[in-house]
């Protein structure tokens, strides 16, 4: 199953060697940007250490141990992650009824659609109650596995009290236990936690790698796979979401705004703005700006470097928006600089309607050099 992990050959080689030689660290720190395979690699590593297959390619994914890990049902597998308050007992019982529903929905999403972000109803963090429950569990004897596996995702979301409680367990980990911390923000972890872990860095995925994964593993059409890979950068999860919803509302809105700006149709723009006012919060407005920046960059690339265009699945629209084929390089540069300023203003709580009006006029100027 390690062969399913693309773009992280050095990591896979390291962990495979450790599995085969039965020489593993007691604590690992998997770090790197979002959507590069940290969690699935951690899960496969735990599976490989406990795989019952005699085949040299472990984990096999089909033995009873592997199946339990994949279903998050193995008695010797503990998974901690940021959540709302669960009122968790030391025995792992969730006493908060609403928290239990959200917890079960999160786990179901993690198994069935791990590339989709889960929205909790309330503030989330890794709470001390989870660490105390984990400590009690690790004090017990292993039930059936060769190695007990602990995965702590978004480990930087432990507050200081929780982190210090966890540190005590990390300083004296039980034998035959492997703890894997996962983070995108290495600097936010306590230095004392970092120093007790073997660090494993996950490099960003190339657009070509993401495009291959989308085509081979998700049966995504070539043009859409290429577009999603380029828009998402190195984030596979985001690329999968974009590919599954290639006509997303915000992306469609970006093209609609560009068409209105191309026609200098201010009246239709204001009508559209009125309809979208409730939909476009700060986060979605920033996403809209991102899509417009990608679109403007495509328009600038069209005359000289069409092979580098991101929105390859919408070439007809891009060609129409390019109009006479004028060189938009300078206009595109000005638009991107202006967009950066708008993003800063959004974080400063400037009125979003004013942001969108300024964005439309800047886009109009860009398309009419």
Which strand (E) or helix (H) includes residue 163? helix 160-171
Q: Which DSSP symbol is given to 179?
A: E
Domain termination residue (choose one: 173, 203, 233):
203
User: Considering 203, 223, 255, which residue would you say is the last residue of a domain?
Assistant: 203
Where b means 16+ CB within 10 Å and e means fewer, 59-97 reads bbbebebbebbbeeebebbbbbbbbbbbebeeeeebeee
In the prediction, which pLDDT does 95 show?
A: 96
Any domain includes 282? yes
Residues 258 and 187 in one domain: no
Q: 112 in a domain, yes or no?
A: no
Torsion of Cα atoms, 137 then 138 then 142 then 143, to 10°: 10
Based on the fold, state whether residues 174 and 252 are members of the same structural domain.
no
Do 165 and 296 belong to one domain? no
Supply the range of the domain harboring residue 304.
247-367
Close Cβ partners of 265 (under 8 Å, ≥ 6 residues apart): none
pLDDT of residue 308: 87
Burial 213-223 (b: 16+ CB within 10 A, else e): bbbeeeebeee
Predicted local distance difference test score (pLDDT) of residue 224: 85
- 23 and 130 assigned to the same domain: yes
Give the span between the Cα atoms of 286 and 253, in whole angstroms.
13
Q: Examine residue 214 and state whether it is found in any structural domain, yes or no.
A: no
Looking at the fold, whether 197 and 263 belong to one and the same domain comes out as: no
| Domain membership flag for residue 30 | yes
pLDDT of residue 246: 52
Asked if 155 contacts 189 with a C-beta cutoff of 8 angstroms, the reply is yes
Q: Are residues 195 and 256 in the same domain?
A: no
Domain boundary among 182, 203, 224: 203
Same domain, 331 and 278: yes
- The verdict on 279 and 362 lying in the same domain is yes
* pLDDT, position 54: 83
88 occurs within a structural domain? no
Task: Count each helix (H run) and each strand (E run) in the chain, helices first.
Answer: 16, 5
Residue 152 belongs to a domain: yes
Specify if 97 maps to a domain: no
Q: What is the DSSP letter of 144?
A: S
CATH code at position 54: 3.40.50.300
Residues near 63 by beta carbon (within 8 Å), at least 6 away in sequence: 51, 52, 53
In whole angstroms, how large is the CA radius of gyration of the chain?
24
Q: Looking at the 3D structure of the chain, how many domains does it have?
A: 2
CA distance 272 to 255: 13
The stretches in the chain having pLDDT less than 50 are none
Q: What is the CATH number of the domain that holds 291?
A: 1.20.272
269 and 157 inside one domain: no
Q: How many CA atoms lie within 13 A of 63 on its CB side?
A: 17
**pLDDT computed for residue 1 by the predictor:** 87
Q: Do 269 and 331 fall into the same domain? A: yes
Say whether both 156 and 284 belong to one domain: no
Q: Residue 190 has what pLDDT?
A: 94
**Is residue 8 one of the residues assigned to a domain?**
yes
Whether residues 304 and 164 fall in one domain: no
């Amino acid at each position: 199953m390690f062969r399913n992990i693309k773009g992280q050959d050095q990591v896979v080689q390291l962990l495979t060697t450790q599995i085969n030689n039965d020489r593993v660290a007691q604590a690992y720190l998997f770090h790197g940007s979002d959507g590069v395979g940290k969690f699935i690699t951690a899960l496969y590593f735990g599976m490989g250490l406990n795989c019952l297959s005699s085949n040299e390619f472990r984990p096999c994914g089909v033995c009873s141990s592997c199946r339990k890990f994949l279903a998050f049902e193995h008695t010797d597998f503990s998974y901690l992650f940021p959540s709302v308050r669960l009122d968790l007992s030391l025995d792992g019982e969730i006493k908060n009824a609403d928290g239990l529903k959200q917890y079960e929905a999160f786990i179901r999403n993690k198994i069935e659609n791990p590339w989709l972000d889960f929205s909790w109803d309330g503030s989330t963090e890794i709470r001390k109650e989870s660490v105390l429950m984990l400590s009690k569990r690790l004090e017990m004897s292993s039930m059936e596995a060769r190695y007990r596996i602990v995965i702590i995702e978004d480990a930087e979301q432990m507050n200081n009290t929780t982190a210090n409680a966890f540190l005590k367990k990390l300083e004296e980990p039980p034998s035959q236990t492997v703890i894997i911390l996962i983070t995108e923000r290495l600097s936010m972890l306590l230095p004392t936690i970092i120093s007790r872990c073997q660090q494993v860095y996950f490099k960003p995925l190339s657009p070509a790698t993401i495009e291959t994964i989308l085509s081979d593993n998700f049966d995504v059409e070539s043009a859409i796979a290429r577009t999603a890979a380029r828009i998402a950068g190195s984030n596979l999860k985001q690329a999968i979401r974009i590919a599954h919803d290639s006509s997303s509302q915000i992306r469609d809105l970006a093209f609609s705004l560009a068409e209105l700006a191309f026609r200098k149709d201010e009246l239709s723009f204001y009508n559209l703005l009125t309809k979208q006012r409730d939909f476009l919060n700060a986060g979605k407005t920033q996403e809209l700006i991102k899509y417009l920046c990608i679109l403007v960059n495509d328009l600038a690339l069209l005359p000289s470097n069409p092979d580098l265009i991101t929105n390859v699945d919408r070439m007809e629209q891009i060609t129409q928006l390019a109009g006479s084929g004028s060189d938009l390089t300078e206009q595109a540069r000005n638009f991107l600089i202006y967009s950066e300023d708008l993003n800063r203003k959004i974080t400063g709580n400037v009125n979003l309607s004013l942001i969108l009006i300024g964005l439309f006029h800047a886009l109009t100027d860009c398309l009419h050099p």
